[in-house]
Each structure stands twice: as C-alpha cells, then as structure tokens.
A = this chain, B = another copy of it.
C-alpha cells in the first residue's frame, strides 16, 4: 500500500502552502476559530481534493507554472469540503472523524456552525473573485449538490427500498460532484478545450464514486483503530451503502433487522455477520474497481506528465486501501 503523500509528490510543496494559507484565512482575528482551523486544516487531513485540483492544474499547464487562480481553486475546494464536514458532523451528531474529535464536540455547536458558515462564505468570496463565471457556476453546483445530498441521505435512512441507482446519485451529490466539477474547473482555468474539460469532469466523477464506495466498504472491513470510528457506524445510523444494498438481495432477514432499526439485542452484530456472509463486499469492490478504471480511461486525452501519472496512480491507491 502506497502512502498517499508520495503519490502527491508533484504537488507536495503546493499542498504545504495550501494548509498554511487555510489556517491563516479562517483563523485570522479570532482565537477560537483559529483553534478550530488548526484542528481542521492541520496535520492529519488527507487533502485528496486539493491534491486532485493541483494535479489537474499541473497536468494541463505543462509549458508553464500553474497560476494563483489554480491554487485558489484548490483552497476553495478544501474550504467547501471542510465546511460541509463540520456541519454534517453537527447534524449527524458525530463525535469522532478520522480518529480525532469533531469540531462541535471540541468547541461546541456554536463554533462549529459559525466555522462552517465562515468557510462557505470565504469560499463564495474567493470563488467570485476568480473572475470566471463558468467556474463560479461549476462550484455553485457543488455547494448545491452537497446540501441536497445531505438532506437526501437523511431522508433515505433505514429505507430498505433504496436502489443502487439512488445510492450512486446520493454518492455523486455527497462526494463525486466536488471531484468532478473542481477537476473540470481546474481545466477551464488552464483554458483547455470543452472536450478535455468534459473528460476531466468524468475523471473526477468516476474517481469520486470509487473513492466513496471504497470508504463505504471500509466501514465494514476495517478495525475501529484504522477507521477512527467504530466499524459499522454507517449501518448503525441507517445509512445503507453499497455492501448493504447488495447484501439485501441475498439476505431477506437483513431487511427485518434494518426495518426495526437494530432495536433488539445483537441486531447490529447479526446484520454485520449477514453482510460478511454475502457477496455484498465483493460486489462493492467490483463496483469501485469499475469506476476507478473508467476514471483512468478519461485521462487518455492528456499528454504524458508526472502529474497525469499521479492522477492514474491515485485510482490504484484508492482501490489499494481495501487490501
């Protein structure tokens, strides 16, 4: 398993600057927000989203250095992503994320809501000042999709009638939209042609779907230590992800357990055992691999470069997290 950092080597220096900038931007003039920003943007974050934006930027600017606008776009994607995480954690009452306490559990709801709003606001402002209406539109789609996805996810909790299509739509809104639209936006800032921009969008979309499906599988296959939260948390909260939806086709009793919201003793343990005993995880792996492969195919339009290679390797890395 390759550590994500070495994959990012073409943009490693860029990512360090980005992290410092984000802490300054958010924390300026406000001691508690500063602490929250340090907590959010400090060591530990994977920064996959800005890394992809920076890699797309470099892969489409082979003859020259990337611009300040490309860098700003990378910051904007991380701000939007982080803002939505902070609010989602309040809404979902999650105490831990990636093994560290969430902002609201450390600083309270007040700071968490304000930090999220401030990040969204700052992102909107930077976005407008990129002076590119098409990029503004793409990222406003993302913000809209994230809000819709979070609401949709809440509505579909414990709904055993959820189809894989609905799951993929929700996954697009919660995760893939940001990768898709920010990859395309990075291309537009490099003045790529419309066809290339569309391929970058598709790369991001498939990459994002693979990324989230893998994350959803890990909820069932990893230890609490690796996840930074108890295994099976998603299921317990009623979020029915790919492994569960596939398993439901084989194990009718799983439906009973979910419908009663794991209300009786050992219900959750039984449900987890049924999923392990099904083809759910295997079929989810195949689904993730399918999207990872699709992502790579959309990169054939780019000239060879270190950054393009990193974008390809990223898809392998995502799948490798499963082994």
Contact = CB atoms under 8 A, between A and B. Distances in A.
Interface of A: 30, 33, 84, 87, 90-91, 109-110, 113-114, 116-118, 120-122, 124-125, 127-129, 131, 133, 136-137, 140-141, 143-144, 146-148, 150-151, 154-155
Nearest to A117: B147
Give this chain's copy count.
2
Nearest to A115: B151
A109 B128 CA distance: 30
Given A110-B91, A136-B133, A151-B30, A146 B128 contact: no
A140 B127 contact: yes
B136 A128 contact: yes
Contacts of A155: 30
B118 A91 contact: no
Contact of A151 (B91, B114, B144, B154): B114
B113 A113 contact: yes
Contacts of A137: 128-129
18 contacts: A33-B151, A87-B113, A87-B117, A90-B109, A114-B147, A117-B120, A117-B147, A118-B151, A121-B143, A121-B147, A122-B144, A124-B143, A125-B140, A125-B143, A129-B137, A129-B140, A131-B133, A133-B136
Contact of A124 (B114, B117, B131, B144): B144
Given A90-B113, A91-B113, A125 B141 contact: yes
A111 B122 CA distance: 23
A124 B141 CA distance: 9
A31 to B, nearest CB: 9
A133 B128 contact: yes
In order of increasing CB-CB distance, the 10 nearest A-B pairs are A121-B147, A128-B140, A128-B137, A124-B140, A118-B147, A125-B144, A121-B143, A125-B140, A121-B144, A128-B136
Contacts of A133: 128, 131, 133, 136
Task: Name which of A125, A129, A133, A150 has the most chain B CB atoms within 10 A of its CB.
Answer: A125
Contacts of A91: 109-110, 113-114
A264 B120 CA distance: 40
A274 B90 CA distance: 41
Contacts of A122: 144, 147
B114 A150 contact: yes
Task: Name which of A30, A84, A128, A137 has the most chain B CB atoms within 10 A of its CB.
Answer: A128
Contacts of A131: 133
